[in-house]
Amino acid sequence: MCGICGVVGLRHATPIVFEGLRRLEYRGYDSAGIATLANGRVERRRAAGKLDNLAHVLEENPLPGTTGIGHTRWATHGAPTTCNAHPHSTERVAIVHNGIIENFETLRRELEAVGQVFHTETDSETIALMVDYHLAQGLGPKEAALKTLQRLEGAYAIAMIFAGHEGLMIGARHNAPLAVGYGDGEMFLGSDSLALAPLTRRITYMDDGDCVVITPAGAEFMTFDGTPVTRKEQTTALVAGAIGKDGYRHYMEKELHEHPLVIGQTLQRLVDPASRTVVLPDMPFDLASVPRAVITACGSAFYAGMIGRYWLEDIARLPVDIDVASEMRYRNPPLTSGSLGVLVSQSGETADTLAALRSLREKAVHILSILNVEQSTMARESAVVLGTVAGPEISVASTKAFTAQLTVLACLTIATARARGTLDTAGEEALVAALLDLPSRAADVFTSGDAIRRMARVVAEARDVLYLGRGSMFPVAMEGALKLKEISYIHAEAYAAGEMKHGPISLIDRTVPIVASAPYTPLFDKTLSNLQEAKARGGRLLVFTDTKGADRVSAIAEDMVVLPHVHDFVAPILQTIPVQMLAYEVAVLKGTDVDQPRNLAKSVTVE
């Protein structure tokens, strides 16, 4: 949510910062801007909308200088206009900010009272004008920055540059990610290691409450009261080339095709194929003795968690509480200390999930996070991290990270069940075999491309769509509905199929297609009865099933997609792939901006 990039060095800053923003555009694309120091003066270029608009502005009006900061915005306060675009600047300072300054109204009033004039509707401009005020009072850049940071409440990652101070950049973080990159005679700041990947692999992840003073010679870390602190340098594994589209039309299409690969890679980490056992990393607690699990996450990651709940309850016989993180963080549930907190997040930076993690940790819950970005803030605050080895996910709509999360949750379930004595060796071998079979079964799903595109033509004409599923297929239906809403802007709702008759069935007519996930599992007959009820009322059924369910589904469905039949346990993982593909094909037909749907951003670092 908003991306920040900055450089101090010897080279022309603008192209370096611009390339960093390209890699951060998934974090927001409401506007973009860059500021540099040109002959010691602050200069900036900004444009509403996507980064390409900024590219045109820069073409017409280039921005010289070797010290620069840039920003790609997901609007919180103030419309996505050029005027509200970052950097915010005065003649003394330019700043970029990711997050929300919660006390900005108070600070704005104070600054206006001393004569500072605001030009935007943003909370972020407060930072620029407060630093500017302190500079005007005669403080140096570091002192002005620290004095300002001491007043800010909320969440922020900030980068600042100062007129007359070539080769100086100050950064700060509190509840929003920021990383420092080390080059050869040049230094960088970025919201994540992806932004810095082509520039350097040497990175320091800042801690909350850190300020950093950066010059081409290095970085000096301190707390907001100026006390020096030491922060470790790490080497990232990210390679610069890992984010091309590789000939696919969109990142989402490419990432959909990576499902088999990422499931396989994730299994490689957690499964011993020879003994058909799950091998989790050492944990500072015993899975056998956790009294219950609490699962929390947002969006798609939450639906993955819901499937995890079905598994943990059924196979490990572990009581599970689950809620979206934005609710969990304020719910204050009574929890026995020593419970297991399972946090699921692709980015590891989602503000609500991070806050829920912290509130669970305060209740002495063991924190186990399932994360794709293993250097993220959540990773650093968890007792155990189980990585989803999905690689960078660039499309704003999550796809491959979801099946990787399910793969990890499946392995966690098996390990927990074994520890609790609810799964014997033969049982574990059978479930692991089903998991090991998944990458090739997932690859088979792509042979159904034509059938999915046929269904997409029906769905693309609809204004409303219902998604149905039972048991672990219910969260699959929710994932399908979310993906459709998100990228095609068609209204979709998911229901547990058995709930239809308690209300939603009244919506059914020929204009509301029903997309159902109905593989041949123990709930197949029940689901089919619910689908019959919908058909009897004129519903048009588009059904995802498998080879064992195909005959009976074909008798009632207007159209169907037949997947390979797999073990019940892994069926939700396989069935997710075609519902995501359907949303993708509908979005392509509708001509929407598939990878960067309106109003959204990946990595939601504000509450």
**Helix intervals (H) in 489-605:** 524-536, 550-554, 571-590
The answer to whether the beta carbons of residues 67 and 100 sit under 8 Å apart is: no
Q: Which of 98, 398, 530, 596 lies at the binding interface for ligand F6R (CB under 6 A)?
A: 398
Give whichever of 309 and 483 is closer to ligand F6R, judged by the CB atom.
483
* Known catalytic residue at 298: no
DSSP label at residue 471:
T
Give whichever of 188 and 303 is closer to ligand F6R, judged by the CB atom.
303
**Helix, coil or strand: residue 4:** strand
The answer to whether the beta carbons of residues 71 and 4 sit under 8 Å apart is: yes
Min dist CB 373 to ligand F6R, Å, is 8
**Positions in 41-70 near ligand F6R (CB under 6 A):** none
The answer to the question of residue 120 lying near ligand F6R (CB under 6 A) is no
Report the residue closest to ligand F6R, judged by CB. Answer: 299
Give whichever of 347 and 517 is closer to ligand F6R, judged by the CB atom.
347
Min dist CB 580 to ligand F6R, Å, is 9
The answer to the question of residue 343 lying near ligand F6R (CB under 6 A) is no
Residue in the block written with tokens 């270029």:
45
* Known catalytic residue at 254: no
Min dist CB 483 to ligand F6R, Å, is 6
Q: Name the burial class of residue 600, with classes exposed (0-12), middle (13-18) and buried (19+) by CB atoms within 10 angstroms of its CB.
A: middle
The answer to the question of residue 346 lying near ligand F6R (CB under 6 A) is yes
Residue in the block written with tokens 């611009």:
18
Q: Name the burial class of residue 282, with classes exposed (0-12), middle (13-18) and buried (19+) by CB atoms within 10 angstroms of its CB.
A: exposed
User: Mapped to the 3 state alphabet, what secondary structure does 65-78 carry?
Assistant: CCEEEEEEECCCCC
| 2, 5, 298, 411: the active-site residue | 2
With CB under 6 A as the rule, give the number of residues binding ligand F6R.
16
Rg (alpha carbons) of the chain, rounded to whole number: 25
User: Nearest-CA neighbor of 550 among 566, 565, 538?
Assistant: 565
Q: Which of 353, 488, 521, 530 lies at the binding interface for ligand F6R (CB under 6 A)?
A: 353
Q: Which residues contact 283 (CB under 8 A, 6 or more apart)?
A: 366, 368, 383, 384
Give whichever of 87 and 469 is closer to ligand F6R, judged by the CB atom.
469
CB-hemisphere CA count at 13 Å for 20? 30
Q: Which of 161, 301, 468, 561 lies at the binding interface for ligand F6R (CB under 6 A)?
A: 301
Choose one: 280-288, 339-347, 507-515, 564-572; the region binding ligand F6R (CB under 6 A): 339-347
The answer to the question of residue 200 lying near ligand F6R (CB under 6 A) is no
Give whichever of 116 and 369 is closer to ligand F6R, judged by the CB atom.
369
The answer to the question of residue 347 lying near ligand F6R (CB under 6 A) is yes
Min dist CB 296 to ligand F6R, Å, is 10
Choose one: 149-157, 342-350, 457-465, 468-476; the region binding ligand F6R (CB under 6 A): 342-350
| 254, 400, 483, 602: the active-site residue | 602
Q: Which of 14, 604, 605, 606 lies at the binding interface for ligand F6R (CB under 6 A)?
A: 604
The answer to the question of residue 345 lying near ligand F6R (CB under 6 A) is yes
Give whichever of 345 and 488 is closer to ligand F6R, judged by the CB atom.
345
Report how far apart, in Å, the C-alpha atoms of 565 and of each of 547, 557, 562, 568 are.
Answer: 5, 18, 9, 9
Q: What is the largest CA-CA distance in the chain?
A: 81
Choose one: 263-271, 345-353, 432-440, 570-578; the region binding ligand F6R (CB under 6 A): 345-353
Q: How far is CA 169 from the centre of its chain?
A: 28
The answer to the question of residue 299 lying near ligand F6R (CB under 6 A) is yes
Q: How far apart are CA 15 and CA 41, in angstroms?
A: 19
Min dist CB 300 to ligand F6R, Å, is 3
Give whichever of 335 and 600 is closer to ligand F6R, judged by the CB atom.
600
Report how far apart, in Å, the C-alpha atoms of 14 and of each of 11, 41, 66, 201 are.
Answer: 9, 15, 8, 20
Q: Which residues bind ligand F6R (CB under 6 A)?
A: 298-301, 345-347, 350, 353, 397-398, 482-483, 486, 603-604
Active site residues: 2, 602
